Structure 1
């Protein structure tokens, strides 16, 4: 389970530190665990913050949200409810964020590490300014980009590809999440009494969805890549082989 300080928690929940404290004061968010003078929050807090944000955007007041949460918690085992909140809010990747310096970026991307390209990487969320260095939410993604540049692609082309992929992947994720929510998870939460076993089943489904989503996307991407790589490169390969066949001497 992830652990966060209040500023990191607020950033991940797309809110502010002030709002986090307001929600705590109003009893909507449990207080953090104390580690000395530092408050430590968990994925359950993150999930609750995201839920509060969704309800506020739908027009609910603090009083409405407090009443709903109180009814929900009275209708089922609190541990089950917190488990569901944790399952929904838990990061979908076990990848650990890293940091890079400007010198390391220059070493990885050479002269293509320009201010413009770095700004685009920040806009895409690949890099996040963090004092005198950059936080890297996905070191694997940054490493893949460096490998593509090393293989001969230009950095702008890699960033263009990342931007297009982000749009397509976001659409796929939105579709899968909405479909599962509508056809599977909701079936376990329709009963307004919200029995503990229904909540536990919904939490289990959310956790099962994580590896299943990756398996489905990986399998379909592999099938599509097999087809499109052949389409994109097959003609080029044939031309290269044809040229070699014309230039090589008979029997050579």
Structure 2
């Protein structure tokens, strides 16, 4: 930051880019945004921070989630893919761009700066590879994956909202803290969100594992 460059406090930066101070600090925590320069007890941001936040907002408007944005902006290194999978991803990128875009919205795939398709969530892609070994073609698997993610996102958003409210209502401590400002609750809110995600993910995994073990869980071939 040079002496001539504009300086912004977090509140001024928030007003300039149309984003809350809490979200700006959250992007710093994820390393999506560089640290400000401190002058005494005040932190100052400059135009490079403005450009970065505008880039993040632009990607979010295109439907990318933060995991995908981390990969696109070089914060998160995409998971390495084997040569065969890498070649397959590039072919799908050329032949099925809409499908790649749909999966990129969920942070499964991402476009690197050179335009190549990169794998972000290796665990999901490994399931596609396993299905391929079982005789299921890759494109139909990815299409089903994109459709399931779209449907689950609606369910997940509702579950996170209702579960979070129930957890807060059921805890006198959290209920009392909920009257404070969000900026003073960042640590509590982040811990609560992480705990809810793990709880819901394990609950869904348990339901599916129980379904797979059930004698009625068979594929209907008509």
Q: TM-score, normalised by structure 2?
A: 0.52
2:101 corresponds in structure 1 to: 122
Q: Which runs of 5+ in 2 are unaligned?
A: 1-12, 26-32, 38-47, 61-65, 68-75, 170-174
Larger radius of gyration: 1
Q: 1:128 deviation in Å?
A: 2.1
Q: Which runs of 5+ in 1 are unaligned?
A: 1-18, 41-45, 54-89, 237-252
Does 2:187 correspond to 1:185?
no
With a CA cutoff of 8 Å and minimum separation of 6, indicate the structure with the bigger relative contact order.
1
Query: Any conservation in 2 of the 1:100–1:134 contact (CA below 8 Å)?
Result: no
Cα distance in 2, alignment partners of residues 204 and 109 from structure 1? 35
Query: Any conservation in 2 of the 1:128–1:136 contact (CA below 8 Å)?
Result: yes
Cα distance in 2, alignment partners of residues 140 and 195 from structure 1? 34
2:141 corresponds in structure 1 to: 158
- Counterparts in 2 of 1:158-177, with a 5 A limit? 158-177=141-160
- Counterparts in 2 of 1:1-252, with a 5 A limit? 22-23=16-17, 29=24, 32-33=34-35, 97-98=77-78, 104-105=84-85, 107-108=87-88, 113=92, 115-117=94-96, 119-125=98-104, 126-130=108-112, 131-185=114-168, 187-192=175-180, 201-227=188-214, 230-232=217-219
CA RMSD of aligned residues (A): 5.1
Cα deviation digits, residues 174-210 of structure 1 (max 9, x gap): 12211123223363444257896x7765554333223
Q: TM-score, normalised by structure 1?
A: 0.47
Q: More helix by proportion, 1 or 2?
A: 1
Query: Any conservation in 2 of the 1:100–1:133 contact (CA below 8 Å)?
Result: no
Q: 1:226 deviation in Å?
A: 2.8
Cα distance in 1, alignment partners of residues 17 and 191 from structure 2? 28
Query: Any conservation in 2 of the 1:98–1:135 contact (CA below 8 Å)?
Result: yes
Distance 1:21 1:127, change over 3 A: farther
Q: 1:142 deviation in Å?
A: 2.0
